[in-house]
Amino acid sequence: MNQLEDFSDLEKSLNLINLVNEFHGSMEKNIKIISQYSEIIDKLLAKIRLNFLLKEKEKFLKELEITEEYEKYSDISAISDLLEKLNKSMSDNKKRLKYLEEDYFQRKNQIDQLNNAINNYKQQIQNLTKKKKEFFSQINRITREMSGNSNKEREEQQIIPEIDESLTNAQKIKAFQKKAKETQRDINNLNQKVEETNLKFKDFNPLYEAYKNDYEKLKDIISTDNKKIRELELELKTKFLNKNNSLHDYNEFNLKSVRSIEEVKNDIKKINNEIETISVPNSKSDLQDPEDLSKIIEKLKVFNNNLKKNQNKIKIRKNEKEVIQIFDSFQKLEALMDDLETFINRFLSQINLKSQFRILLSEDNINFFIQIRFTRNMKEKIIFDELTTPEKIFFIIVCNISIGLQVKNHNIVFSNLFIPSVYNKAGSIFRTIRKILPLFDTEEYLSKFNLIFIFSNLEMKKEIKNVKTVTIQENG
């Protein structure tokens, strides 16, 4: 138990209520401001979306007019049908190409890895062959020296492999022969790897070539179709505009393919439905002049001005030191409650009860109150009203005594006058005293305190052990 020594500044803990209320009020104002801002932004986004939809609708209406004109001319219709087939074919081929690409590049990577491995082995063989020749050159040089026939100028230009110069000529020749033999063994191993890798290459290559041919062929088909589509689009636009002088405004219309009238009308219907859902919550003027954002901009200006004016109301302006003092004080209060709970539970354990104190804030955020819950026999959760009368009296008495222990009064006074008359039950009061007194003898900390009981109009039928009684009679 961590007993609280200093009870000063506890009243500051009550300022936490004001801090909470101030914070709550500021939060409500902030939420309101955010809601207002969100509403303005929603309207702005709705305007932007409405503008986009109206432009899309205008585009589809032009497309509908062109589509209706297409159906009047058989030659234009034939080109349009061919365009549609080519576009579909190109779309299908692009999908096939996408699926083929993964397999093709997987096989290509395998072939590239095999080629790289073969080239690497061949490069190593070339380097080792050169090294082996150098070993034999050294053997020949030493042999010439031994026979007295040497060319010093030429010898100085030779690259001499590292070897112990302290060896005799015969030992040097033997060492070079050994190195040449080891090098030849390495060359043989590499040649074996080249053969094995070539076999793998021959196994993989036919499938790779098949994928490569399919891939390149499909790319060529797509390229050819794409070129033909551009040519047909130009021809289609030229024929169409030549027959419809009134539609020259649509010269820039993108003629990828001409859709059916039904498809275009369905797109227009979808846009009309979305425009209706956007327009319903807003004013009708939005439809009349959707590009006019002046009202929303004005609302944003008003909002910004109000925000600047009400900054003091939406910000919690508290001195940091003051806030720390408030929380420190509240922590002291919590520690005080914890200590009181510990003292009380020392006594309540004698009747198989345990209390739990909680500091709560009232629903109106005006007052703190202490909620006390009890556990009977370590499992049954109850409140004060559910205690038996003897249990209630026991709790009231030990609570009074525990407060005295907490403030470290050497002489702790308790009287039945301290408690409501409904709990002035002599039997329960004296039984409580008999239960708790032994603790003051057995526990070192409690033995430091004296208990003084003052009873009024209560008859003690049986004396309490280790309690000195003094009877005071009122003079008539």
Each residue's pLDDT tens digit, 167-213: 888 888 888 888 899 999 999 999 999 999 999 999 989 998 998 99
Each residue's pLDDT tens digit, 357-402: 988 877 877 778 888 999 999 889 999 999 999 999 999 999 988 8
Token code pair at residue 49? 């979306």
Q: What are phi and psi of 371, to 5 degrees?
A: -100, 130
Please classify residue 398 by burial: count the beta carbons closer than 10 Å to its beta carbon, then call 0-12 exposed, 13-18 middle and 19+ buried.
buried
Question: Which residues are CB-neighbours of 433 under 8 A, at least 6 positions away?
Answer: 397, 453, 464, 467
Is the pLDDT at 126 greater than 90, yes or no? Answer: yes
Token code pair at residue 476? 């008539």
Q: What does the alpha-carbon distance between residue 332 and residue 205 come to, in Å, rounded to a whole number?
A: 83
Q: Which amino acid is at 30?
A: N
pLDDT at 157: 43
pLDDT at 356: 93
| Domains of the chain, start order | 10-70+255-314 (no CATH), 74-243 (1.10.287), 320-454 (3.40.50.300)
Please classify residue 75 by burial: count the beta carbons closer than 10 Å to its beta carbon, then call 0-12 exposed, 13-18 middle and 19+ buried.
exposed
Q: What does the alpha-carbon distance between residue 112 and residue 119 come to, in Å, rounded to a whole number?
A: 10
Q: What are phi and psi of 370, to 5 degrees?
A: -100, 120
Q: What does the alpha-carbon distance between residue 36 and residue 41 come to, in Å, rounded to a whole number?
A: 9
pLDDT at 162: 60
Q: Are 254 and 230 in contact (CB under 8 A)?
A: no
Produce one character per residue of 138-155: b if its CB has 16 or more CB atoms within 10 Å, e if not: bbebbeeeeeeeeeeeee
Better-predicted residue by pLDDT, 388 or 64: 388
- Distance set, CA 358 to CA 31, 284, 361 (Å): 30, 57, 10
Each residue's pLDDT tens digit, 106-123: 899 999 999 999 999 999
Q: What does the alpha-carbon distance between residue 442 and residue 294 come to, in Å, rounded to a whole number?
A: 85
